[in-house]
Amino acid sequence: MLKKHSKKHSKKQSITKHSKKQSITKHSKKQSITKHSKKHSKKHSKKHSNDKEKLQLYKNGSGTRLLIMPNRKETEAASIYFYFKVGSKNETPELNGVSHFIEHMLFKGSPKYPNYLDISKTFDSNGIDFNAYTSKNTTAYHYKFLSTKENLDLICDITSEMIFKSLIREKDIKPERNVIIQEYKDGIDNIDDFINDKLEECLFEGHPLGRTIIGTPDTLNKINREKMMDYYHKYYTPDNLLIGFSGCMNSDYINIIQKYFKDKKNSGSSKHNSSHLFNPIDIETYTPGVSTIIPFQDKHPFYKIDCFSKTLSQDYINIIFKTRGTYDPNTYYYKLIYNILGGNMSSRLFVEIREKLGLAYSIKCDITNYEEVGYFNIYTQNETKDTIKCIEHIFKELIKFKKEGVDDTELKNNKKNYCDIYKINFDDIEDENERFSSQILLNKPIETIQMRIDSIQAITSQQLKECANELFNFNKVHIITFGKIKKDKIEKIIKKHI
């Protein structure tokens, strides 16, 4: 299984079956840009123009929710996810890593499928691609498969057993603990994983978001079966489950899902009444629930510099500005700002740092959001001798943005770039599943593709300038580096601008 990192720091995302997920996602897809993006996006926009009407949301008496995406007749594949709203954020310090540990253990067997091979061989022999991931606020078990009734029935049968009737045997815990510890060590050796974990440890000091998803050898060794079972029974409940289904759908899909995920109160209902076990919710009048927020108190409200000495051929630089996270009203402004600054190969920072100055191979921006807090990150790698020059020129570009904003042509081009790529990403049925389902999981109003595009297109250059001035506050910047650069040299740059 995967640990899924919130942040896309690595240039190459490693995906391992049954690994972890906080190093940044399992199937976090890179945004692909093709020559034919304009033609493709136009077609896709038409296809999804009424996607809010095609989305279907259901809920049964046990609280299990089912989200059905628009039927995709152009493919023979389907994707189904089983999401639980639980991750490392929900853990106590002593139980750090238990969410991910449980994710591994659920593949070890249930009464009907008593061992790992009963599960994996069955999926593999039917061509079903399966995996799982744990993030800081979600755990998901997901499948991509040829959309047949037999495959969907098989997936629902095995998964309902895994998630609600897992044996979690004592004899399986010790060897799996060792597997996870090896996974932990893989992360230590992988510079991208190491950076991802260290970044949030520094940014969210004292908050559960600052702890790693995988835990530590110390906490993993202290997690026993009793503690694991208590946690499992607390969070793996029908009312904490969201099932997301996307791709090609046959006419019996909802009956098959309901067969295995019934309202327990009506579990004795006749077959004739099975179609009523999941009751539809009107998407137009859907009211989001209320998220459980763990208040975040910033221990470093002013500028901070963390330099981690590490033997590397380059310095890894992260220039970070905190945001208000998932529910930040400026979120769409941030998305356009990062696109303009570092979202593509004609972005300002890429042109300045790579093309003009030749200081780095790549430079990018990224936004990471949690329900409690988020951050905007500008990151790059370069030789130590160029690190200070690189930071100075990044600051120069940020100051320019704050003072001059963006002209109409650049704004128009970046809106088109962002919107076209956003639409293209929905061609991937797994990406589509995660994007729509995350809205339900995070208790946000349903947002269709067109609604997002309309919001982006409505942004003005003045709004972006005002947002940039609020966001890029050098008094509150947090710079985190890995390599040989020294803190005092970076501090001199910050002091020039505050």
Coil, helix or strand for 57? strand
Q: At what angle do helices 487-496 and 384-404 cross, to 10 degrees?
A: 20
Run of H or E residues at 280: strand 279-281
**Is the separation of the CB atoms in 336 and 464 below 8 Å?**
yes
Paired tokens of 105: 């253990």
Confidence class of residue 268 from pLDDT cuts 50, 70 and 90?
low
pLDDT band of 117, cuts 50, 70, 90: very high
Which of these ranges, 38-42, 262-266, 327-331, 396-400, has the smallest mean pLDDT? 38-42
Mean pLDDT, rounded, for 12-30: 34
Q: How confident is the model at residue 3 (pLDDT cuts 50, 70, 90)?
A: low
Please compute, for residue 375, the number of CA atoms within 13 A of its CA located in the half-sphere on the CB side: 27
Beta carbons within 10 angstroms of residue 10's beta carbon: 18
3-class DSSP state of 243: strand
Report d(CA 51, CA 236) in Å as an integer. Answer: 31
Q: Can you tell me the distance from the alpha carbon of 94 to that of 113, in angstroms, rounded to the nearest whole number? A: 31
Mean pLDDT of 335-349: 97
What residues pair up with 393 in beta bridges, in sequence order?
none
263 pLDDT band, cuts 50/70/90, is confident
Task: Please tell me the distance from the alpha carbon of residue 423 to that of residue 48, in angstroms, as a whole number.
Answer: 9
Instruction: Tokens for 431, please give them.
Output: 């990406």
Residue 50 above 70 pLDDT?
no
Mean pLDDT calculated for residue range 407-434 = 97
When pLDDT is cut at 50, 70 and 90, the band that residue 277 belongs to is: confident
Pairing mode of beta strands 241-247, 65-71: parallel
- Given a cut of 60, whether residue 44 has pLDDT beyond it is no
- What does the pLDDT average to over 267-278? 55
Q: Does residue 6 carry a pLDDT above 50?
A: no
> Which phi and psi angles does 79 have, rounded to 5°?
-135, 130
pLDDT tens digit sequence for 170-206:
999 999 999 999 999 999 999 999 999 999 999 999 9
Tokens for 495?
Answer: 């002091």
Reply yes or no on whether the pLDDT at 232 is more than 50: yes
pLDDT at 272 over 70: no
Least reliable range by pLDDT among 7-16, 220-229, 257-266, 335-344: 7-16
| pLDDT given at position 267 | 53
Supply 77's token pair.
């594949």
pLDDT of amino acid 39: 36
DSSP H helical ranges for 204-330: 217-222, 225-235, 253-260
Which residue shows structure tokens 């259901």?
58
DSSP assigned state of 252: T
Q: How many CB atoms are closer than 10 A to CB 317?
A: 23
* 355-370 tens-digit pLDDT: 999 999 999 999 999 9
- Give residue for tokens 């230590």: 188
Q: Residue 225, by phi and psi: left (phi above 0), alpha (psi -120 to 50) or beta?
A: alpha
| Amino acid of residue 305 | I
* 349 compared with 19, residue with greater pLDDT: 349
Mean pLDDT of 42-65: 69
CB 227 within 8 Å of CB 318: no
DSSP secondary structure letter of residue 478? E
pLDDT-based confidence at residue 35 (cuts at 50, 70, 90):
very low
What is the rounded distance in angstroms from the CA atom of residue 299 to the CA atom of residue 301?
6
What's the CA gap between 380 and 353, in Å, rounded? 9
- Answer whether residue 221 shows pLDDT above 80: yes
Query: End-to-end CA distance of the chain, in Å?
Result: 45
Question: At a CB cut-off of 8 Å and minimum separation 6, what does 337 contact?
Answer: 365, 376, 401, 464, 467, 468, 471
Q: Is the pLDDT of residue 289 over 60?
A: yes
Render pLDDT for 421-479 as a digit per residue (tens, 0 to 9).
999 999 999 999 999 999 999 999 999 999 999 999 999 999 999 999 999 999 999 99
pLDDT, residue 46, reads 42
Output the pLDDT for position 10.
37
Q: What does the pLDDT read at residue 327?
A: 95
For the residues 413-425, what does the mean pLDDT come to? 97
Q: Mean pLDDT lowest for which of 14-18, 176-180, 339-343?
A: 14-18
Mean pLDDT value of segment 230-244: 98
Please give the model's pTM, rounded to 2 decimal places.
0.89
Full set of structural domains in the chain with CATH: 2-33+44-285 (3.30.830.10), 304-496 (3.30.830.10)
Residues 484, 315 contacting (CB under 8 angstroms): yes
The 10 Å Cβ neighbour count of residue 279 is 12
Q: Which long-range contacts (CB under 8 A, 24 or more apart) does 332-335 make?
A: 332/455, 332/456, 332/459, 333/459, 333/463, 333/464, 333/467, 334/367, 334/376, 334/467, 334/471, 335/367, 335/418, 335/456
Say what the pLDDT of residue 9 is: 37
Q: What is the pLDDT of residue 256?
A: 96
- Specify the amino acid at residue 484: K
Mean pLDDT of the chain: 89
